[in-house]
Amino acid sequence: KAEGHVEGEKVENPDTGLYYDEYLRQVIDVLETDKHFREKLQTADIEEIKSGKLSRELDLVSHHVRTRLDELKRQEVARLRMLIKAKMDSVQ
């Protein structure tokens, strides 16, 4: 008995072990809104995602998806800057 992926079904994501795991999950969620990229993600394994091998496909995503990715990146950079500042303040 084969179990297939049901459209709209939420799949439990494995822990990547990365410090930026939440950011990675948000990026993947945005990329999955693009039909072409979703197909690429479905055939990729976690190592391909972690290594950035799929980044070649980013040139093919829609403008709306790219804009959302840019916003997520700005938010992540701001979060990292806040953490660095807090660490620097605690050291001083």
Residue 27 pLDDT grade (very low, low, confident, very high; cuts 50, 70, 90): confident
In the 8-state DSSP scheme, what is residue 56?
G
Give the span between the Cα atoms of 5 and 30, in whole angstroms. Answer: 19
Domain ranges of the chain: 17-90
pLDDT per position as a tens digit, 29-69: 998 899 888 888 888 888 887 888 878 788 888 999 999 99
Which pLDDT band, with edges at 50, 70 and 90, does 14 fall under?
A: low
Give whole-number Cα distances, 14 to 6, 71, 76, 85, 89, in Å: 18, 25, 21, 30, 34
Q: Is the pTM of this model over 0.75?
A: no
Mean pLDDT of the chain: 81
Q: Which of 39, 54, 47 is nearest to 18 (CA)?
A: 47
